[in-house]
Structure 1
């Protein structure tokens, strides 16, 4: 019985490590090229990079992280406002909840952002 538990644990461990395998090098180079377009505010370079690398904007942009920031925030922090504006529809939004029961007094209104 102990051998069966040990064998099962080994199989599950190997499956877990395979699931966290490194990214395909060609995909990584394509995403690095997209991140590099966020360093400049050149729309034609951005469009060419997206087209040449066959990037699915709806799939990639909500999840793409460049130097620890979302691609949208990365572009904004590097002054690429035109590119940030172009990808804004693909960025995840924020949600705000306001307590409407407290609308009579402005002192007690609460807002929650997450």
Structure 2
């Protein structure tokens, strides 16, 4: 279990460092499954999908783009207000502090279309 989680973290990290690399098909399937939960307002389906795919919400939701929209906006535009409220606090905010040592690659987005 921990090996799979570590492997997923390594794969996701490698994707963020190389934005031009193609996405691993298994990760893409998992992200598409998460995006599909944004089409319904079913919290049970959302929770089950997150657990089955072992999604790290803090890492994925600020960067996940479903059909050209952030996951939060995607869920709102499809009427999934309960799910949108669950992920709203993961949306990136604005700050006035600028971290000069920040790696520009860490803000990469995971964009999937289905």
**TM-score normalised by the chain length of structure 1:** 0.65
* Higher RCO (CA < 8 A, seq sep 6+): 2
Deviation readout 1:4-44 (Å, 9 max, x if unpaired): xxxxxxxxxxxxxx761200000000000000000000000
* Cα-Cα RMSD: 1.7
TM-aligned CA deviation for residue 92 of structure 1: 1.1
Structure with higher Rg: it is 1
Q: What is the total number of aligned residue pairs between the two structures?
A: 79
Deviation at 1:93, TM superposition (A): 2.3
Q: Which whole-Å deviations, capped at 9, do the CAs of 1:22-70 have from their partners, x for residues lacking one?
A: 0000000000000000000000000000000000000000000000000
* Structure 1 runs (4+) greater than 2 angstroms displaced: 93-96
Where structure 1 has 5 or more consecutive residues not aligned to the other structure, the ranges are 1-17, 97-114
Return the TM-score normalized by structure 2.
0.65
